[in-house]
Structure 1
Amino acid sequence: MNAIDNNKIQAEEISLGLLFDALSGDKDAPLVFHYDGRPVKPGYHITEVKAGQFSALDCGANPEAWTAIFIQLWDIEEGERTHMAAGKFHAIIRKVTEHVQLDGSAKLTFEVSDGVRPMQLYCAAAPVLRAGAVHVELSPQPASCKPRDRWLAEESKKAAACCGPAAARSGCCA
């Protein structure tokens, strides 16, 4: 199985390509999504897959452009069904690519609802193989300020450059 080891869960959202790579190993393993502290029900459905190209102006008046893929999960339990196999999920998405152009590098957004509560948006962490199943943790997709996010990333790079292993020997962090 190509799913990522338990100790290497990525906190950032993943791309379609990373998810496909992780699912291409053991196609018979159940695929279990987790959100709001619980797993999806065994009968969940993929009700829609859509791709979009977006153009925007952020709050700092910077033009933004990105591609996103949305996978809608209907969290229901039906009869004696089990969690969908990783191979079936892979095949469904592959079928979508016959009709809709999906960019493998596009970040994934999951839209999840139980059919009663409103749909909510989630980011996905890297898949993890645990107890014979592939687990994907979904976290609520927060709002963000892209100029602030860029500034924080730049500050983090500066700190790493100054206080990284090589810089620490130079007296930079003394």
Structure 2
Amino acid sequence: MNAIDNNKIQAEEISLGLLLDALFGEKDAPLVFHYDGQPVKPGYHITEVKAGQFSALDCGANPEAWTEIFIQLWDIDDGDRTHMPAGKFRAIVRKVSEHVQLDGSAKLTFEVSDGVRPMQLYCAAMPILRGGAVHVDLSPRPASCKPRDRWLAEETRKAAACCGPSAAGSGCCA
């Protein structure tokens, strides 16, 4: 996927709630995250789960507010361990939720580092069960311009309304 295609990346993002729901029936399946074209090492572990509430002013002077969940993955080899089972991942998040309020619909961001390279931010796609393991693709989280993103979303909505199946004969799709 081209990192310049912000709309495609944003469309693939899932929330913490969607991720946990997708993992529900797969408690014993290994959970394998993929980033930068590689799977995480079997010894990876979660070093931190944190929730943030943000208030900001975007580049168009529009106030913005959102909640975000950060899950920090340390991508290391740790002896002869296997990839973490999906049930263990869910249990870790459940344990965190006993102490930290986690909004299941919040934006989900993964912070990943191998302990050498700087930590990088990723968004998660919907998990896929393949070969007896649950695979989650992580895509780099690009910078974006919220006013531009809103404008593009509105233009897309207008085009769909004008050129959709019910409007095909309306003459607005020249």
| TM-score interval for Structure 1 and Structure 2 normalised by the shorter chain | over 0.9
Kindly report structure 1 stretches of 4+ aligned residues shifted beyond 3 Å: none
Report how far residue 132 of structure 1 moved.
Answer: 1.1
Q: Determine the structure 2 residue equivalent to 1:106.
A: 106
Report how far residue 107 of structure 1 moved.
Answer: 1.2
Instruction: Please give the per-residue CA displacement for 1:79-129, whole angstroms capped at 9, x wherever unaligned.
Output: 110100000000000000000000010011000000000000001111111
Instruction: Please give the per-residue CA displacement for 1:44-95, whole angstroms capped at 9, x wherever unaligned.
Output: 0100000000000000000000000000000001111010000000000000
Equivalent runs, 1:117-128 vs 2, <5 Å: 117-128=117-128
CA distance, structure 2, for counterparts of residue 52 and residue 112 of structure 1: 17
The farther-off stretch of 160-169 and 110-119 is 160-169
Q: Determine the structure 2 residue equivalent to 1:19.
A: 19
Q: TM-score, normalised by structure 2?
A: 0.92
Which amino acid is 1:84 matched to?
Answer: M
> Among the aligned pairs, what percent are the same residue?
87
Question: C-alpha root-mean-square deviation of aligned residues, in Å?
Answer: 1.1
Structure 2 residue runs of 5 or longer lacking an equivalent are 1-9
Q: Determine the structure 2 residue equivalent to 1:96.
A: 96
Equivalent runs, 1:16-165 vs 2, <5 Å: 16-165=16-165
Aligned length: 165
Q: Determine the structure 2 residue equivalent to 1:6.
A: none
Structure 1 residue runs of 5 or longer lacking an equivalent are 1-9
